[in-house]
């Protein structure tokens, strides 16, 4: 009996030890799964067909392809908007841009100037704010494009550091052609067209008044004519000054709240951005971190360093893609070096589809490839909103898996907020859904039954994926008028617009089944689809429910918020010194200027 007692106690002890060990292992596993490091990589204007993992056979993207091999590839990953500013607002907040006032009613749907007063409101809750509250170190490297100041040149109300980022190194606006000498201008044609009529009217009015005064038909005080001429002259001088100095006023590099290079230099720019990202990782190996790398590639002006220039089979655009892929490889290598790969969720995407209308002044194609999909940036055809979606987290998400369910860039918000053990805001609608169950194979259906596609502030199309069907219906209420008519974009205006004579309204709406016609070639009709009117009825009901969920908010992209305001202008020296400095070279602004 005594020996039996000892034997039983020994077995019980071993069993207890095993239970304790298993609990410890589970605890460690839960802890690592619940608070991983998070790296979010966002390209700019990259086409889904530009990557090897999405079928490209001529551009070399081995590092981005590695994310697909070791993680999940989303094949129906949708940007919340086909334009930079609203898409990025949705990405950070998990909400349709219109909920944050980041959807324009005018033609211009993005911020163009560093001294505009609009931006992502302080009322909005970003994932960076929530993760910072949970002890994450947070950084944004690269492009921001969500506003800077509200009332003064140093209130920084829209700055990344006001939205939960501890560290910022990058561009406050975006990478324009105008930022790089010799690359042309995105404004010149529009300014010329916009000025012709007002100048003609002003000239005719001035001459008419002068003639009427001379022949005695009308007595106009000479002083009034002088004031009128002075106002016209001052307006023209300010306009000419602004666009002549556009590069200095809008294309600059910041570290936190300080301008460190004005204007921006493209020399080894990707290397500098990558180095900043790697150093941030190195500084935070012992604490959970959130790192957003928002690449300037491949928005025009295109650029590439000497190591990549002329090396691809697709000109400067291909060089830029391959340089970005190199940067992704550097980030993955530094994770491996610090044994952080298994503790880090890495996500790669683009803010919208490729800008197909981008053609250089010499005729070189500077826009990307959207694969089989129609249209591109600024449109809600699939080419404008279906973007790469790659997620890697070794040991947690499936490796080498493909998911064809509708997902959105808004889904990143609830996914990483939950992983950080933070609470989703309860005082607002979050339009994104947690992706982790889908990524781990625990569920096979997306939670997105409906996705609403806005062209600026106008509801353009709706995607419906019924729970009991493999079909993905897409309904268009209007479509852009391509120019030339038989082309795949709006080449005459450089981008497609969302209202007036730029679009064609459809009644009944156009209907496609993307599961059978992903190229959106042949609209369905009541003759070719027996459920045509039933599908439209369900979609209209969904639109009514969605519209009721919207609340009036200040329009951050109104003309008043878009226009250049001199008193908001950031300048590292002074306007008289042409806002010039280069702290990147280690000198003072004046030394750099004199040099």
Which stretch of DSSP H or E encloses residue 40? strand 37-43
pLDDT, residue 184, reads 82
Share of residues in the chain with pLDDT > 70 (%): 88
Banded model confidence at residue 185, pLDDT cuts 50, 70, 90: confident
- Give the pLDDT mean for 109-134: 97
**37-175+252-448+554-568 belongs to which homologous superfamily?**
Alkaline Phosphatase, subunit A (3.40.720.10)
What the block records as the tokens of 86 is: 């609203």
The side-by-side arrangement of strands in the sheet containing 458-464 is: 450-455, 458-464, 473-480, 503-513
Two structure tokens written together for 191: 């300014």
Give the residue extent of every domain in the chain.
37-175+252-448+554-568, 187-244
The yes-or-no verdict on residue 360 having pLDDT over 90 is no
Q: What pLDDT is attached to residue 592? A: 37
Q: What is the largest CA-CA distance in the chain?
A: 132
Over the stretch 304-348, which tens digit does the pLDDT of each residue have? 999 999 999 999 999 999 999 999 999 999 999 999 999 999 999
The per-residue pLDDT of the chain, averaged, comes to: 90
Indicate the DSSP class of residue 365.
B
In the numeric block, the tokens 């005064």 are attached to 213
Region 187-244: CATH code: 1.10.287
Residues acting as catalytic residues: 84, 145
Lowest mean pLDDT of 81-95, 217-231, 297-311, 398-412, name the range: 217-231
Tens of pLDDT, residues 433-477: 999 999 999 999 999 999 999 999 999 999 999 999 999 999 999
Q: Where are the alpha helices (DSSP H) in 339-459?
A: 382-385, 412-419, 436-439
Q: What pLDDT does residue 199 have?
A: 66
Sign of CA dihedral 485, 491, 493, 494: positive
Residue 208, pLDDT score? 78
> For residue 528, what are its two tokens?
């070719």
The rounded distance, in Å, linking the Cα atoms of 385 and 593 is: 43
Which of 24-28, 156-160, 239-243 has the least mean pLDDT? 24-28
What is the phi/psi pair of residue 485, to 5°?
A: -60, -35
Q: Inform me whether the pLDDT recorded for 5 exceeds 60.
A: no
| Buried-state track 319-356, b at ≥16 Cβ within 10 A, e below 16 | bbbbbbbbbbbbbbebbeebebbebbbbbbbbbbbbbb
Q: Tell me, what's the pLDDT at 472?
A: 98
Q: What pLDDT digit, counting tens, does each position of 549-595 carry?
A: 999 999 999 999 999 999 999 999 876 667 999 998 765 444 433 33
Mean pLDDT of 203-208: 75
Non-local (6+) Cβ contacts of 244 within 8 A are none
**C-alpha–C-alpha distance, residues 422 and 430, integer Å:** 14
Which residue in this structure is represented by tokens 């500098």? 272
Sorted by sequence, the CB contacts under 8 Å of residue 102 that are 6+ apart come out as 85, 86, 89, 90, 120, 146, 556, 557
């Amino acid at each position: 009996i005594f020996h039996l007692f000892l034997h039983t106690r020994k077995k019980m002890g071993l069993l207890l030890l095993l239970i304790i060990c298993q609990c410890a292992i589970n605890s460690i596993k839960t802890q690592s799964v619940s608070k991983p490091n998070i790296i979010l990589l966002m390209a700019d204007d990259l086409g889904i067909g530009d990557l090897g993992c999405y079928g490209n056979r001529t551009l070399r993207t081995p590092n981005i392809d590695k994310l697909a091999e070791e993680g999940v590839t989303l094949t129906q990953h949708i940007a919340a908007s086909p334009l930079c500013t609203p898409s990025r607002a949705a990405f950070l907040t998990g909400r349709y841009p219109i909920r944050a006032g980041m959807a324009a009613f005018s033609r211009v749907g993005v911020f163009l100037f560093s001294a505009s007063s609009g931006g992502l409101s302080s009322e909005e809750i970003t994932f960076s704010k929530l993760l910072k509250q949970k002890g994450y170190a947070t950084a944004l490297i690269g492009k921001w494009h969500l506003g800077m100041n509200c009332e003064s040149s140093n209130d920084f109300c829209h700055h990344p550091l006001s939205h939960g980022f501890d560290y910022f190194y990058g561009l406050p606006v975006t990478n324009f052609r105008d930022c790089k000498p010799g690359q042309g201008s995105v404004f010149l044609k529009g300014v010329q067209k916009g000025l012709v009529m007002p100048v003609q009217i002003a000239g005719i009015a001035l001459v008419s008044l002068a003639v009427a005064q001379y022949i005695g038909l009308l007595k106009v005080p000479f002083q009034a004519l002088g004031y009128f001429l002075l106002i016209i002259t001052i307006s023209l001088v300010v306009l000419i000054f602004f666009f002549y100095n556009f590069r200095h006023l809008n294309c600059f590099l910041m570290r936190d709240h300080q301008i460190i290079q004005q204007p921006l230099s493209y020399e080894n720019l990707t290397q500098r951005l990558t180095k900043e990202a790697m150093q941030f990782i190195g500084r935070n190996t012992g604490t959970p971190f959130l790192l957003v790398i928002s690449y300037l590639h491949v928005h025009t002006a295109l650029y590439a360093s000497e190591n990549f220039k002329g090396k691809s089979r697709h000109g400067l655009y291909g060089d830029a893609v391959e340089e970005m892929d190199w940067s992704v490889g550097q980030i993955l290598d530094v994770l491996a070096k610090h044994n952080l790969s298994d503790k880090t969720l890495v996500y790669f995407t683009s803010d919208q589809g490729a800008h197909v209308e981008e053609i250089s002044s010499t005729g070189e194609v500077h826009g990307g490839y959207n694969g089989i999909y129609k249209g591109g940036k600024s449109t809600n055809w699939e080419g404008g909103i279906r973007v790469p979606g790659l997620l890697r987290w070794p040991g947690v998400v499936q490796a080498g898996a493909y998911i064809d369910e509708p997902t959105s860039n808004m889904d990143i918000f609830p996914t990483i907020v939950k992983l950080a053990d933070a609470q989703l805001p309860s005082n607002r609608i979050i339009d994104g859904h947690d992706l982790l169950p889908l990524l781990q194979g625990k569920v096979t259906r997306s939670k997105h039954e409906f996705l609403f596609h806005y062209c600026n502030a106008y509801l353009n199309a709706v995607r419906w994926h019924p729970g009991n069907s493999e079909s993905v219906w897409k309904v268009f209420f209007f479509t852009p008028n391509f120019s030339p008519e038989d082309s795949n974009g709006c080449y005459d205006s450089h981008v497609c617009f969302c209202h007036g004579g730029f679009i064609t309204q459809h009644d009944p709406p156009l209907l496609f089944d993307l599961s059978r016609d992903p190229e959106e070639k042949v609209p369905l009709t009541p003759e070719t689809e027996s459920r045509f009117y039933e599908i439209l009825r369900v979609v209209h009901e969904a639109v009514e429910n969605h519209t009721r969920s919207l609340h009036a908010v200040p329009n951050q992209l109104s003309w008043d918020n878009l226009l250049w305001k001199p008193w908001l202008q950031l300048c590292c020296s002074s306007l008289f010194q042409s806002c010039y400095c280069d702290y990147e070279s280690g000198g003072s602004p004046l030394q750099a200027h004199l040099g």
